[in-house]
Amino acid sequence: MTENCIFNHAALAFCFAVTLFGTFTEALNLEEAEEGVCRGVPKSISQQEFNLTWMDSVPEWYVPVGSRYELYRIALHRLNLSPEDEQFKSMSEEELINKGCFKGRLNLQSGSGLLYGFEKEGYVKVELRAGRKNSIDVVATGSLTRTPGIGRHYVTLTDNKTFVIFSICWLEADQKSWEVFSTSKTLSSKAKQLIEEHAISLGFNPKKFISMNYDNCSSI
């Protein structure tokens, strides 16, 4: 692996993710990705008021970093799968990282969002509800949703310019997770370190962090 990391750019990103965010799983398993119940999940500890107008103004959001549980749920929703579907269980984490290509478009004023991923045609629509200070509910429901639920997103850190870090409670499942929304596909090493330290300070397990790779996303 060391030789590949030195001479191959794609492998370098892959190996960096392993070094910084832990080891990959051979197959996806939502239950094994869990980090615990929502009780005690950090709620809006950001001292800076969340700017909804700014968030709506960003044409596309990317999800370069997050917890296994959160990114697995995004994959399930985008592919319209349940955790028991063979297509999900047979997917490797390496495939998720390199082919997920997650991005979203948000309109908090109208209460809607669009989720893209895996370079599939079309999108999945989600309902957005701005809640109490510095929180947003992402509602994944409807007859076509195989993994329904409401993810209550709490803003824990943002610069209101380039990124937002959310701690999340999935209400029906009573499971916590976290993710980063970013205006760019990649983050600097300094930003990744800041995010990792922040997520650890919130009580999340660094062995369950995932860093996505957008290098192979042709339509991004």
Q: Tens digit of pLDDT for each residue in 88-102?
A: 999 999 999 999 999
Q: What is the pLDDT of residue 197?
A: 95
Does residue 22 belong to any structural domain of this protein? no
Q: Is residue 199 part of a domain?
A: yes
Residue 47 has a pLDDT of 61
Residue 185 has pLDDT above 90, yes or no: yes
Lowest average pLDDT, out of 12-16, 108-112, 197-201, goes to 12-16
pLDDT value for 23: 53
Residue range(s) defining the domain that contains residue 139: 27-211
* CB < 8 Å & 24+ apart, contacts of 142-150: 144/80, 145/77, 145/80, 146/76, 146/80, 146/81, 146/82, 146/85, 147/73, 147/76, 147/77, 147/81, 147/82, 147/83, 148/172, 149/73, 149/173
Mean of the per-residue pLDDT values for the chain? 84
| Per-residue pLDDT at 19 | 41
Model confidence over 117-129: pLDDT tens digits? 999 888 988 999 9
Count the domains in the chain: 1
Model pLDDT, residue 57: 95
At 39-73, the pLDDT tens digits run 888 876 666 677 888 999 999 999 999 999 999 99
Residue 153 three-state SS: strand
In a domain, 217, yes or no: no
Quick check: is 31 in a domain?
Answer: yes
User: 159 lies in a domain?
Assistant: yes
Whether the CB-CB separation of 153 and 139 falls below 8 Å is answered with no
Q: What is the mean pLDDT of residues 76-86?
A: 92
Residue 81 lies in a domain: yes
Task: Indicate whether 111 belongs to any domain.
Answer: yes
Do 164 and 55 meet the contact criterion of CB atoms below 8 Å apart? yes
Structure tokens at 143: 């007859």
Q: Look up residue 129 and give its DSSP letter.
A: E
What are the tens digits of pLDDT across the range 3-25? Answer: 334 334 444 444 444 444 445 55
| Radius of gyration for the alpha carbons in the chain, expressed in angstroms and rounded | 16
Contact by Cβ (8 Å): 108, 55: yes
- Predicted structure pTM score: 0.84
CATH number at residue 59: 2.40.128.20
Dihedrals φ, ψ of 189, to 5°?
A: -60, -35
Give me the mean pLDDT over the 205-215 stretch: 96
